[in-house]
Amino acid sequence: MNHSILPCSNDGVRSDSAERYAMGGMSRADAARYEEHLLVCWQCQEALAEFDAFIAATRGAVDGFKPASERAASASS
């Protein structure tokens, strides 16, 4: 496994990897290695879950600023 992409000893890089993965910023090969790594690394699983929660909260906050008609259209999609 390529630990230059996934150095679990460094919180900042771990968070960066989770962000890049969640936002589609990894190559297919790097994403595949990251997914394989996620199977065994609770620290990276936690980092990805935290980033996913952040994205969900951000989207929820942004939706609160949309007009009601636009929110209704988004909810039905």
Domain assignments of the chain as residue spans, ordered by start: 11-76
pLDDT tens string 9-67: 666 567 788 899 999 999 999 999 999 999 988 988 998 999 999 998 988 888 777 77
Regarding pTM above 0.75, the answer is no
* Long-range pairs of 56-60 with CB within 8 A, sequence gap ≥ 24: none
Q: Two tokens at 31?
A: 């994403």
